[in-house]
Structure 1
């Protein structure tokens, strides 16, 4: 069983995080209102849906690079059309649909057949860190572009001018939840049948899909997003990231936009595990987690255990997470070696 939670912060410059729409020849950037200390700020944002889309694109590429073969053409080409079987037709069942990696990981809905699957990956909005200094420094501005119309050669319409809004921000926070335990496992079909599925799962394929999901996350938060990437790739830098893994379901980590989100996240995990028992691993990249100095914190009477580790390099974060994913999957009873 693998349940992964992550939150962190990245810096972004001159990027279209999420497009909002077009008015004439003016392309707008999505903005949201956030409240801090009783004051309302309107800031450029990165929607959870946009992050989810780009994660599916990068995860599919990682899955294929890892040797994965179970992708339909929509998944392979980064088209967010879900619910198709391996031949590109509407799937007849959840079991058939989740043979495709994207359907399995990111869910789907086929209204005509009343077949659905919730996404195993859920992203929060990416918003500026909630401090006055950061919120007041975030900016949105328009840049002029020229577009050539090949059908209007020699006429005044040859160059069409349009304006695209971009955003720059010192620090943005993000948060993501991944219930990787349900990979390759029908959810709604088993409920309809009155119990959980007893079908054994290929451990190697499940591990491949879980690894691809995390690789897709790394690729996404290091700049692999942007609704208008055709005009300019995002200028982005991942500053810090905290990943929590457990063989049992665990709460979402505190969003990276909040102050002291790392300490608060560990406190949430401790409180939860003190009630239900179990263990979790927390890996901190780009920031020092004080808990790591105390090695492991054990909740009295419950047997709960949280192991916290600090890493300096993204490669070490990735290798630590992938080792834990492999370990958890191999320990799952229904997976076959």
Structure 2
């Protein structure tokens, strides 16, 4: 089964993904996007949150739920260090060092649900496992590009003259500026449920607790998307968030939902029509589509129920 999602958030005053600091100025991530305007196509630069940032949040939510369910989590992942096997086996507490191929992959995912769901690559073993979870960049919806905004906020870290004199350090007190952004953002991605707890290298083998892992992976995605549990600077720049729409589909074959742009009722009509054609061409059951739409005809009353209905 293939789970696809498309979310639209109204986010005000966020610093979820800054990329650099120049002196006392911290910049928000930006990305170029192309959209159709009256005179043709236009390129503009907009605030963005990287898929890597969102994936990190998802994986940490996965770690928490996995530990609560007594599923295996590698020791570094428990500390929030998602190093995986790219650095080799020496940095890990593992028993997989002498294994190869499919046996090595099976051993790794038996030891760590994060590498099971989110993949890994060990160049020393020539073993690669593609991620079962994918996130797009979070960018402003195309119909709201012109209303996205980025502006720096002025802050002061205060210290008394006595402290400055005592420690002989003028940097104790400092002025700094942090860019914050506001926009109606869209986010898309997928979770390959069939790939969880199953090797990708041949011969294909399953772990014993595969069904339990699938449930935890889905619940971690629900927490990530509906509770907005991702991004940096949450303690002092926690954004004001409203979910404008959340659509989830489950299908036998990979069926990916487009971003939630434009009129929500028109969007659902287009998605439903595409799903009909998709199922007809492949000769399979039509994808199950569930939606929460604040400004449209949704099927459920709140975002959490979307995941309870698939």
Q: TM-score, with normalisation over the residues of structure 1?
A: 0.77
Q: Which residue of 2 aligns with 1:232?
A: 237
1:54 aligns with 2:57: yes
Q: CA-atom RMSD, angstroms? A: 2.7
- Residue segments in structure 1 that go unaligned for 5+ positions in a row: 191-195, 291-308, 322-337
The answer to whether structure 1 residue 214 and structure 2 residue 203 are counterparts is no
In the aligned structure 2, how far is the partner of 1:288 from the partner of 1:249? 29
Asked if 1:138 corresponds to 2:151, the answer is: no
Q: Which one of 172, 175, 195 corresponds to residue 161 of structure 1?
A: 175
Aligned partner of 1:306 in structure 2 is: none
| Alignment of 1:285 onto 2:285 | no
* CA offsets 1:35-77 (integer angstroms, 9 cap, x no match): 2222222210111221111111112222223x13301122223
Task: Provide the residue aligned with 2:28 in structure 1.
Answer: 29
| Whole-angstrom distance in 2 between the partners of 1:173 and 1:312 | 20
1:74 aligns to what? 76
How many angstroms apart in 2 are the aligned matches of 1:68 and 1:288?
40
1:310 to partner: Cα distance:
1.0
Find the aligned partners of 2:115 and 2:305 in 1 and give their Cα distance. 30
Equivalent pair of 1:120/1:182 in contact (CA under 8 Å) = yes
Q: Distance in 1 between matches of 2:272 and 2:237?
A: 37
What is the SS of the residue equivalent to 1:256? coil
Please point out which of 320, 325, 332 is paired with 2:309: 320
2:94 paired with 1:94: no
Comparing both chains, which one has the higher relative contact order based on Cα–Cα distances under 8 Å and sequence gaps of 6 or more?
2
Q: 1:185 aligns with which of 188, 193, 198?
A: 198
Give, in whole Å, the separation in 2 of the partners of 1:144 and 1:173. 28
Deviation of 1:289 after TM superposition, in Å, equals 7.5
**1:258/1:78 CA distance change after superposition, 3 Å:** farther
Q: The residue matched to 2:7 in structure 1 has which SS?
A: strand
Distance 1:234 1:57, change over 3 A: farther
Q: Kindly indicate whether the alpha-carbon contact (under 8 Å) linking 2:222 and 2:304 is maintained by their aligned counterparts in 1.
A: no
Q: Partners of 2:5 and 2:92 in 1: how far apart?
A: 34
Report the equivalent of 2:137: 125
Query: CA separation in 2, counterparts of 1:141 and 1:244?
Result: 36
The number of aligned residues is 288
Distance 2:13 2:146 in 1: 16
